[in-house]
Every structure is written in C-alpha cells, then in structure tokens.
Amino acid sequence: MPLPSHKSRAGSSSLMSLQPVDAAPFQRPSSAWLVWGSLFLVWLVSLLPWRLLNPVPDMLLLVLVFWCLHEPNRVGLVTAVVLGLLMDAHDASLLGLHALNYLLCAYGVLRLHGRLRHFNVWVQTFHIIPLLVGAALITRLLGAWLNSEWVGWDWLWSALITGALLPLVDVLLLLPQRRLDGDDVGAV
C-alpha cells in the first residue's frame, strides 16, 4: 500500500500546522493616523499648565517611548528631538534639556528594541523605568550645572510614575489593533 502523498495531507489538520496563540501579536504596523495623531494629541495636552506640577508624569515622553518601541521605523530620534525642542520652547527653559531627555530615552528604547520586543509589557516596563530615571537624572544634573541651582528630587517620582504608566498606554494605544485582530478571529 503506497504512503499517502504530501498533497493529500495538506487539507487535513495536523499538530505541525498549529501555531502558538501568542506567536506574533500585532504583526501589522499601526496606522500612521494613530501614531502621529496620538503624539499630536498628547503634545497638545502637554501644553496645559498642570504638567509643570510635581510629580505629574510626562505623558508626551511616555507616548514617544511607546511608539519608539512599537514603531521604530516611524518614530525615532528626530521625532524625539523635535518634540523636546517644542516642549523647551513652550516652557521657556534652557533650550535643549527636554530635547536631550527625550533623545536619551528614545535612543535607549531603540537600542533595546531587539530585546524588548520579545517580552510582554510588564517586563518592558521594568526595562524602561531605569532608562527614564537615568535620562532624567542626566538632564537634571546638566540643568543644575547650567543654572547653578539644584531643583531637588521631585523629578524622580515623575520619572517613576511615567514608567509605571506604560502598561496603561500599551492597552490604550494598541486597542484599535486588538479590535482588528479580534475581528479576524471569527473570519474563515
């Protein structure tokens, strides 16, 4: 009796054709409208005066870090510098301190992108919090040196809260994609 050919087994299901449930979630890139629209909206919200209170998280930095992690081909170092310079001009502070902070965070995330994309959002959060704190420390030390005045340690809480909000931003900004992926599940 001849063995069944490979073509006859193609229609049947086998264990070899099964894929893990979470093999590659969100393979589709996010829409450009979502990426740039969310950055623009958060930038507008960041212009409100409540952002200057301590320990308010830097939501613009958080969304920037999120998109550098999930869309590194669209959002990168140039975006970080431009957004940082816009915030410097708005705050009328030393030109370049926000830009340096955003640039260091974006560079760190882009550098760790190969490793972080394999982890879930909780492990990503534990990698990104030290990155945010380190970048904030460098810019605060530079600002203290240039201004000849130390502003205290209130910024540390802001950096920690900013990093801790990454899971919430992950849920909110990937929600449209999760809905699209959920719609595809029922399709045959």
Enter the tokens of residue 164.
């801790």
| Mean of pLDDT values over 169-173 | 91
Q: Sorting pLDDT into bands at 50, 70 and 90, what band is 142?
A: very high
Enter the tokens of residue 56.
């308010």
Calpha distance 170→69 (Å, rounded): 10
Those residues whose C-beta lies under 8 Å from the C-beta of residue 91, and which sit 6 or more positions away, are 52, 98
Task: Report the 3 state secondary structure along the chain.
Answer: CCCCCHHHHHCCCCHHHCCCCCCCCCCCCCCHHHHHHHHHHHHHHHCCHHHHCCCCCCHHHHHHHHHHHHCCCCCCHHHHHHHHHHHHHHHCCCCCHHHHHHHHHHHHHHHHHHHHCCCCHHHHHHHHHHHHHHHHHHHHHHHHHHHCCCCCCHHHHHHHHHHHCHHHHHHHHHHHHHHHHHHHHCCC
pLDDT at res. 154: 83
pLDDT in tens, 97-138: 999 999 999 999 999 998 988 899 999 999 999 999 999 999
**Position 3 pLDDT exceeds 80:** no
User: Are the C-beta atoms of residues 185 and 81 closer than 8 Å to each other?
Assistant: no
pLDDT in tens, 35-57: 999 999 999 999 988 877 778 89
pLDDT at res. 13: 57
pLDDT at res. 186: 46
